[in-house]
Amino acid sequence: MKEIKNIVFDFGGVLLDLDYNRTFQQMEALLGYPVSPDKVSPATTELLTQYEKGLITTGTLVDHLKSTSTLNPSENDIIRSWNAMLLGWQTFKFDLLEKLRQKFRIYLLSNTNELHLDWVHLDLQENHGISDFETRFFDRVYYSHLIHLRKPDEEIYRFVAEDARLNPTETLFIDDMAVNVRSAENCGWHTWHHDPQDNLQEVIIKLLGPIL
């Protein structure tokens, strides 16, 4: 691997712990029908994609989900279930990011949405005393709903490389989804398909050597 100068992290499954099944199970109970990705309607799938790209509002998403159910779920219950997948942090990762930033340019590239990001900011502030997450730990942050682009579309990797002036051959991308990794590789980035069960610090050392 050529000398790496830039590390681009995915968010959920790499830095933030997730359990998708918690949202699937709670939404299913709330709405009265299966909501896993392979079972929802094409219309709902398209709406979720638009929401991650910031092309529709939270209100539009919530209204759509309410309209598909005969159980009359409340807005608050829908939001609570939507965010149920977000588990929180292994706090050593905060220290890891600060150490890495002393030697590398560090970026965050995430498919996310307004509701999840609101939860993240509230959790960071209330449970960790962090109010400057994006600037303390990263040189730049790219959230899909704010830049209106989404992984695994290759356009998002080209956009980030141009905007941050990254040389792909000097850039390492770490993501927990194989489809996202393949797209980054197609754009010339070095990649690592991360297993959320693995220790991230040990992975970094394995990839880049004893740098910490």
pTM of the model: 0.94
The pLDDT of residue 35 is 85
Split at pLDDT 50, 70, 90, the class of 89 is: very high
**Mean of pLDDT values over 189-209:** 95
**Mean of pLDDT values over 111-139:** 97
The yes-or-no verdict on residue 36 having pLDDT over 90 is no
**Mean of pLDDT values over 55-71:** 94
The yes-or-no verdict on residue 141 having pLDDT over 80 is yes
The pLDDT of residue 2 is 64
For 189, residues 6+ apart whose C-beta sits below 8 A from its C-beta are: 8, 157, 161, 168, 171, 172, 173
- CATH 3.40.50.1000 range(s) for the chain read 6-18+88-208
- CATH 1.10.150 range(s) for the chain read 20-82
Question: pLDDT of 25-34, one tens digit each?
Answer: 999 999 999 8
Q: Which of 35-44, 91-100, 141-150 has the lowest mean pLDDT?
A: 35-44
- 86-95 in b/e burial notation, b at 16+ Cβ within 10 A? beebeeebbe
Element (H, E) at 193: strand 190-193
What stretches of 79-133 adopt beta strand conformation (E)?
86-89, 105-110
**Mean of pLDDT values over 91-114:** 96
Count Cβ atoms below 10 Å from residue 85 Cβ, excluding itself. Answer: 20
| Cα of 52 vs its chain's centroid, Å | 10
The CATH architecture that domain 6-18+88-208 belongs to is 3-Layer(aba) Sandwich (3.40)
20-82 in CATH: which number?
Answer: 1.10.150
Length of the chain: 212
Question: pLDDT of 155-165, one tens digit each?
Answer: 999 999 999 99
Split at pLDDT 50, 70, 90, the class of 41 is: confident
pLDDT above 90 as % of the chain: 90
**Mean of pLDDT values over 105-130:** 97
pLDDT above 70 as % of the chain: 99
The yes-or-no verdict on residue 1 having pLDDT over 60 is no
**Mean of pLDDT values over 175-189:** 97
- Using CA atoms, how far apart are residues 14 and 126, in angstroms rounded to an integer? 21
Q: Which residues pair with 78 in a beta bridge?
A: none
